[in-house]
A and B are shown apart, each in its own frame.
Chain A
Amino acid sequence: MNVKNMLLALVAMAVMLVAAPAQAEKTIMLGYSLPLTGSHAQYGEGFRNAATLQLERFNKSGKLKGATVDILFEDSKSDPKEAINIARKFVDNEQIVGVLGDFTSTVSMAAGRVYAMEGMPQLSQTASHPDFTKVGKYQFRNITTQAFEGPFVAKWAESLGYKKFAIVAIQNDWGISAAENFETAIKNLGGEITAVEYFNPGNRDFRSILTKVSRDKPEAIYLCMMYEEGAMILQQRRQLGIDITTFGTSSLYSPKLVELAGEAANGLMLSTTFMPDSPEPHVVEFVTEYKKQFNADPNMFTAQAYDAVGIMLDAIAKVGTDVTRESLRDALAATTDYPGVTGATSFDPETREPVKGLARMTVENGAFKLVK
């Protein structure tokens, strides 16, 4: 009898010994699927930097007592096949309660089908294709869609007196949706589209497109692409002597665009959610901290990721340490007025679409200026 009691006591002690530290060090895992190699690696690097910055800030803030959050980064190479494999890996990992990413709409939607099927909340910082949130009820995004941005720029351009547009867009899900949304918006305003030209991702020679587009003599060109291609187009436009006003999507917004295109960028007009020289204190904090840690200027993409991670972490803090995939999804859907560096964000609980504000910007003398 004595021996049995002693054994029981020993077992009880052992259990307590094991349990006590485990409870204090509970870690909640998030997954981040993003391109760290391949042609989109520069965006992935920015996302990872911003995410670690936000994560450090959160874990120090003490918003979540009794647990720390950690992020597992996986390289999707911006390839849908890779992202699906990563999605399966994340879903199988029982520690992971939520996933961030991926970068492009195409990749995010491919992986999103896995997350939707397995009930894993997914928050993309940049997937702006209208169908992304229609993949399933677990998809969220921290970016306004082209269905919102296209009409916004169209109205702005129309108010400046431009009616006849040519569109140059990158040929992927996002680019096509950006071009189509702008086209419908312009037509609804009584304007005219002379041509819609798509180019392959990776293309650096836009001379033949520009020559063709300018033949129809549009009043303005609308660019739907990333800032690198945008810089190339602006430069080659100057070299070909084509003097047509250009508008662009918010994805063109990056200090790098002005750096790469030089004076050819002057006059470009675009919408944006993030202004790094905004005087608001949390933007200033983000920009200085980012510069200090990574020796680079944050751009719109890094800001999107910073806020996406912030929204996810806040949702975890709301639920508490016993967060599950299901409760995290509900907490995300209830996000209202998250004070991010890209403006206050709320999710529509039904459609899970973000409600954000957009600003107008133009390039003057080699610098972005806010248009009042």
Chain B
Amino acid sequence: MDTYYLMQIINGLSAGMIYALIAIGFTLIFGVLNVVNFAHGEMYTIGAFGGLVCITALNWPLALVIIAALAAGGLAGIVLERLAFKPFRRFQDEASLKSRAMREATLLSSLAVSIIVKELIQYFFGAEMQSIPTQYLLNDPIPVGPLSFSNGQFLILGSSILMLGGLQYVLYRTRIGLSIRAISNNPLGAKYVGLSVDRTIIATFAVGSMMGGAAGILVGLYYGAIFPSMGFAPSIKAFVAMVMGGLSSIPGAVVCALILGVCEALATDFMAQGWSDMVAYAFLILTLIFFPQGIFGARRERV
């Protein structure tokens, strides 16, 4: 065991944290609505481009840029909910709320929004990768003995912990968190006791997409790569992490995202990295066969 494996584990954790950042918002929305939000990758892209505009046009400091990305993501999430999800919740009777078709229609509507957003961004910004001023790049080397870290890795780790902690606090300590959990558990019941289902769902989308947006700008600055289709590849991995983690357990998704990242990095040793996507899909299949509830998803409660 030399520093090589330690370095690979660090590489893997840094990739895993990125999957985790995206998986947090993804899982939150799944937990409440029980539908996959295919446009989550685009919330991530919107956050990145929102931040980019603040950098190139306004020269804001990094902290403000991240707040702007949060705002862009949150706003986009509210618009997304209005366009792709709300129209399918028009009928509030019991049969419609339980109908699978109603829920699955949003799968396609969110996919449609995702394609439209991607093409719009491409129309306005062009399909090329955007260049980022060097002083904003989160890629400065921090050598620690034979290992090499970067400031972006610490920032991403810090924000993951902050987001996860903040989300757990909101979910378990605040009123809106209580209603999110109530609706995710039993939407009809929550409605009958007088909770505003609509308002809670909008709040969930805003929070989940804010996290997506923040992830977008952080990862964009860390890789130095902001482009319209940037959301696709990491959101596939985040999706796998979500399924592995039990579909609606946020800490579960984070842990699985880290496992996934580390396994991918270590797999480089045994197979070409081009095959490392196979690791994710293999995990997905193994989870579905051996843990149909996900590794962390045995409980009934969905958030």
Known contacts A198-B272, A198-B274, A209-B268; 6 additional CB pairs below 8 A are: A42-B128, A171-B272, A197-B273, A203-B233, A212-B269, A239-B139
Within 8 A of B (CB), among A261-285: 261-263
Chain B: minimal CB distance from A100 (Å)? 19
**Chain A residues with a Cβ closer than 8 Å to the other chain, count:** 36
Within 8 A of A (CB), among B25-50: none
Binary interface encoding of chain B residues 133-146 relative to chain A, with 1 for a CB under 8 A from any of its CBs, else 0: 01001011101000
B126 touches A211 (CB 8 A): no
Select one of B141, B225, B227, B273 contacting A208, CB under 8 A. B273
Give the complex CA separation of A208 and B263 in angstroms.
11
Within 8 A of A (CB), among B251-280: 264-265, 268-269, 272-274, 276-277
Within 8 A of A (CB), among B51-82: none
Chain B: minimal CB distance from A33 (Å)? 17
Chain A: minimal CB distance from B5 (Å)? 10
Give the complex CA separation of A37 and B140 in angstroms.
33
Give the complex CA separation of A236 and B12 in angstroms.
14
In the complex, whether A215 has a CB less than 8 A from a CB of chain B is: yes
Give the complex CA separation of A241 and B272 in angstroms.
22
B141 touches A238 (CB 8 A): yes
In the complex, whether B8 has a CB less than 8 A from a CB of chain A is: yes
In the complex, whether B7 has a CB less than 8 A from a CB of chain A is: yes
**Chain B residues with a Cβ closer than 8 Å to the other chain, count:** 39
Q: Which residues of B contact A187 (CB under 8 A)?
A: none
Q: Which residues of A contact B4 (CB under 8 A)?
A: 211-212, 215
Give the complex CA separation of A241 and B143 in angstroms.
8
In the complex, whether A173 has a CB less than 8 A from a CB of chain B is: no
A235 touches B273 (CB 8 A): no
Q: Give the residue name and chain of the B residue nearest to A44 (CB).
A: B127
A198 touches B273 (CB 8 A): yes
Q: Which residues of A contact B122 (CB under 8 A)?
A: 37, 41
B274 touches A171 (CB 8 A): yes
The 7 closest A-B pairs by CB, nearest first: A171-B274, A41-B127, A42-B127, A207-B11, A208-B265, A198-B274, A42-B128
Within 8 A of A (CB), among B200-253: 223-225, 227, 229-230, 232-233
In the complex, whether A7 has a CB less than 8 A from a CB of chain B is: no
B269 touches A235 (CB 8 A): no
In the complex, whether A117 has a CB less than 8 A from a CB of chain B is: no
A208 touches B8 (CB 8 A): yes
